[in-house]
Amino acid sequence: MAGIDKRIAVLVSWSKTGDRKQRTKPGRDAFLARFEREVDPEGVLPVEERRRRAELAKRAYMLRLAKRSAQVRKKG
């Protein structure tokens, strides 16, 4: 029963959110920061180059996830 209550609370919360993009910005920023640290652990690259490489690393990560998902669905 707790699971359904949590889902209800989440939906109510999102229904009261005016700017969904702003609400999720901290999480998206933290996720991208992970890839920025991966591609430039010493922090020596210019900001724009680090961001560009981080976006590419994130895309590769997402493609690996999609590939694994497809493989699991194919087996299932």
Question: Whole-prediction pTM value?
Answer: 0.77
Q: How many CB atoms lie within 10 A of CB 35?
A: 20
- Residue numbers of the domain that contains 20: 2-75
25-49 pLDDT tens trace: 999 999 999 999 999 999 999 999 9
Let me know: does 55 contact 31? Beta carbons within 8 Å.
Answer: no
- In sequence order, the 6+-apart residues with CB closer than 8 A to the CB of 67 are none
Q: Total domain count for the chain?
A: 1
The whole-number average pLDDT for the span 60-69 is: 97
Asked whether residue 1 carries a pLDDT value surpassing 70, the answer given is no
Let me know: does 32 contact 54? Beta carbons within 8 Å.
Answer: yes
